[in-house]
Structure 1
Amino acid sequence: MVTERPAIPAGFSLATRYLPSGRDIVGGDWYDVTVLPDGRVVVMVGDVAGHGMGVAAITAQMRHALRAYLVNEGSASVALRQLGTLIGALLPGKLATVVAAELDPSTGTVRVTSAGHLPVLHLTDGGARLVREATGPALGIDVATSYAEATVQLRPGDALVLYSDGLVEERGVHLLDSLEGLRDRAAAASRDPDELCEQLVAAAPTTSDDVTVLAVRRY
């Protein structure tokens, strides 16, 4: 659904992988990279429940609406609240999750906001951690009054990984255990974004869901 090459500032590199489910060529997963007027870059991964062209059309509407809100407001937290209101009014009954990471390329500071999405991974020389502090309800469940944000400092060599639930879902395994397994695999993986995405996808459990991974690294 991304028709242009994502923009990434000097000193950073980005890679993505998308694997559709075995049932459909397109599904509810999506990613985006949006450059704000002040130079900050917002990387996002989202998931709309369902598969097929109808769901793909909804993801495109959400992506474009969220882009507009981000450029207008300059804040992922505010933009997600507005997107939640839009979904409730125009797409009742639809459920979606989104995680957004606002990167200031001049400092390496990242502000993470999540609407019901899985925690992002912060990879450093010392290992990997799940950024659990960014929380908020999924879109379509409730109109959130606020979202808890988390701040991450990307130092040279650090990487940030956003992903969809297809990367960790495993039948018979508790989600928390799957997340810990992903963290351990990420800690041992390459920090090069392309290699990192490839290694995480290759080690992912077999799933019937879409898989999306986005990795950004500071050099």
Structure 2
Amino acid sequence: MTGPASPAVVPAVERPGGAPDARAAAESGLLAARLACAEQAASDSRRRLLEISEQAAEERYVSTALREAVMPGPGATIDLPHARVTARYVPASVRTGLGGDWYDAGLLPDGRAVLAIGDVAGHGLPAIGRMARLRHALTGLAMTGASPGRLLSWLDGLVLHRMPETTATAVVGHLDPATGAFTWGQAGHPAPILVRDGAAVQLDPPAGVLLGSGCGLPYEPAEVRLREGDRLLLFTDGLVERRARDIDEGLALVLHAAEGLPRGDLGAGLDRLIETACGSAPEDDVCLLAVDVLG
């Protein structure tokens, strides 16, 4: 006896050269998900880059404002009675545009000019903050007309009692335009260089210890009579010190370069001197003041 016919089994039909419909749909969905993830990652990257760019721009603005508030400028020219000061400031940190080196030059109420330069050990914002405190303290204290030795003693007390972790050096001097006398003192800092009649020599330093030493020793005075045509260079140790070079070799290099500084376009000459002594990338902050004695 013959029963009812069995239902036919129909196999899945594949599209020519392709996968079954279900597999194609799954792979299409997976590809779409991957594309969406890639687009989201790209969007996140663009947003992050924009945030970094905006943050960098804000930091540059703050650094510029801070630099202008703290220092006269990296390439300032300051006119004084019978003298002109040309400054160069090259910080080791390009990012902040500032470091631990500082300088000051300006008139006092009695007609003399104060010329000062200093160095606070370290880099970054902590060194910048300590540098600013020292420079601003000197700017105010100098208005009293006190001697360079007395000013250095006051700075020594400030560092000792209010900035105990600080190591700092400085040269502070008074230039009398009436007599040409430059009276100065130093606190563990390189002595200025005098360029006269084409020859450069480093002045003999008076006694003076690092600021904040707490030893109580006085800062002795020294004096040199400047005349028309003389040039006085005040500098920080970054100009003569490099890890791969002896400091005496660096000083000799600077003395030789100082003898060749031009009378005109002095700023460009100072730039060349710094590059000759330090290369294109100074290892430390460099500050340099050139004081030209005029008639």
Shift of 1:64: 1.5
Contact 2:78–2:84, Cα closer than 8 Å, also in 1 = no
**Corresponding residue to 1:68 among 110, 119, 140:** 140
Shift of 1:177: 2.6
Contact 1:44–1:99, Cα closer than 8 Å, also in 2 = yes
Give the distance between the partners of 1:161 and 1:203, measured in 2 at CA: 16
* Equivalent residue letter for 1:198: D
Query: What is the match of residue 208 of structure 1?
Result: 283
Larger of the two Rg values belongs to structure:
2
Gap regions ≥5 residues in structure 2? 1-69
Give the distance between the partners of 2:137 and 2:232, measured in 1 at CA: 24
- TM-score normalised by the chain length of structure 2: 0.69
Shift of 1:170: 2.1
Aligned in 2, Cα 1:94/1:24: closer, same or farther, shift over 3 Å?
Answer: farther
Query: What is the match of residue 10 of structure 1?
Result: 81
Query: What is the match of residue 91 of structure 2?
Result: 20
The yes-or-no answer on 1:197 pairing with 2:263 is no
**Corresponding residue to 2:212 among 140, 160, 176:** 140
Give the distance between the partners of 1:136 and 1:9, measured in 2 at CA: 27
Specify which structure has the bigger relative contact order, considering alpha-carbon pairs within 8 angstroms and separated by 6 or more residues: 1
**Corresponding residue to 1:79 among 135, 151, 173:** 151
Contact 1:162–1:213, Cα closer than 8 Å, also in 2 = yes
Q: Per-residue displacement from partner, 1:112-167 (whole Å, max 9, x unpaired)?
A: 21111111000111401101233311112234431222211211110100111111
Q: Which has the higher helix share?
A: 2
- TM-score normalised by the chain length of structure 1: 0.91
Contact 1:20–1:211, Cα closer than 8 Å, also in 2 = yes
Contact 1:158–1:191, Cα closer than 8 Å, also in 2 = no
Give the distance between the partners of 1:22 and 1:58, measured in 2 at CA: 16
Query: What is the match of residue 168 of structure 2?
Result: 96
Aligned in 2, Cα 1:23/1:208: closer, same or farther, shift over 3 Å?
Answer: farther
Aligned in 2, Cα 1:172/1:142: closer, same or farther, shift over 3 Å?
Answer: farther
Q: Identical aligned pairs, as a percentage?
A: 34
**Corresponding residue to 1:179 among 220, 242, 251:** 251
More displaced, 159-168 or 171-180? 171-180
Aligned to 2:121, the other structure's residue is in SS state strand
Give the distance between the partners of 2:91 and 2:234, measured in 1 at CA: 17
Q: Which has the higher strand share?
A: 1
Shift of 1:68: 2.3
Provide the aligned length of Structure 1 versus Structure 2: 219
Aligned in 2, Cα 1:123/1:144: closer, same or farther, shift over 3 Å?
Answer: farther
